[in-house]
Amino acid sequence: MAAAIKTRSIEAFGGGERGQAGAAPERTEIAIRGVGHTYRPARGRPVKALETISLEVKEREFVALLGPSGCGKSTLLYLIGGFLPVEEGKILIDGQPVAGPGPDRGIVFQHFALFPWKTVLKNVVYGLEKKGVAREERVRRAREFIDLVGLSGFEDSYPSQLSGGMKQRAAIARTLAIDPAILLMDEPFGSLDAQTRSLMQSELLRIWQRSRKTVVFVTHDVQEAVYLAERIVVMSARPGRVKEILSVGLDRNDPGLLRSRPFAEMVDHVWSLVRSEAIRAERGGGT
């Protein structure tokens, strides 16, 4: 039986307003209603990955999906992206059912997904070429987004000449260049070292504040979720359900945020929710 979904604001931890970037979203952009998903391998038993997921994401909102390994976070992201068929329930984008991938949704994977034989500029231009954008315009737009992610001067570099963080910036630029309304991010900083990961988190916030895309961000890192997201959707052990939805009210413009007591208390609270599900998953109790 599905656990009751709890929705809570974390103002008890001393959070304030998030400033202009955290202004209240206006309308529902993504509506997920009673979604489930089962993997059916050619051999072996079917695996129930998701069960009765219901969630709404507002326009220009930054939402993190957080939970133990194997809880279906990435599966839900791929369903939103149209890369997997919606078998149970429905997913609506601006009121229309998801029937497959579309230019309104851009995805950033954990492992960069750059063409190694193309320069940064040509990687970013690629999607615009496929959309039929005129050459001068696509180069102009590509350079604009390369600058936005802080890679000006590296337009003619190949992926093999870039650091991990720079590769991920190029991947983000390529996704933003096609101007999707929704940015889907599947643990995009998971393979980076701690220092680069921290820098990229700050960079992503800066980019989001300027572009104001709707972001759905998959992570297993509690601190990352608290730092980046306006709301955190905590998922249960498999089959993944929505355990609790937390509204984060911290001021990300505060330079001392990561060292503050409210931030630490919120991380502890969210970790306690995730930890109980991680223990269930480890013991095989997520059924």
Q: pLDDT tens for residues 35-86? A: 999 999 888 899 999 999 999 999 999 999 999 888 999 999 999 999 999 9
- Residue closest to 227 by CA, chosen among 194, 204, 193, 243: 204
Q: pLDDT over 70 for what percent of the chain?
A: 90
Q: Are 208 and 19 in contact (CB under 8 A)?
A: no
Say if residue 18's pLDDT is above 70: no
State pLDDT tens for residues 152-179.
999 999 999 999 889 988 999 999 888 8
Predicted TM-score (pTM) of the model is 0.84
Q: Are 243 and 6 in contact (CB under 8 A)?
A: yes
Which pLDDT does position 2 carry in this prediction? 42
**Would you say residue 22 has pLDDT above 70?**
no
Confidence of residue 3 (pLDDT cuts 50, 70, 90): very low
Q: Which residues pair with 63 in a beta bridge?
A: 216, 231
Contact 111, 186 (CB under 8 A): no
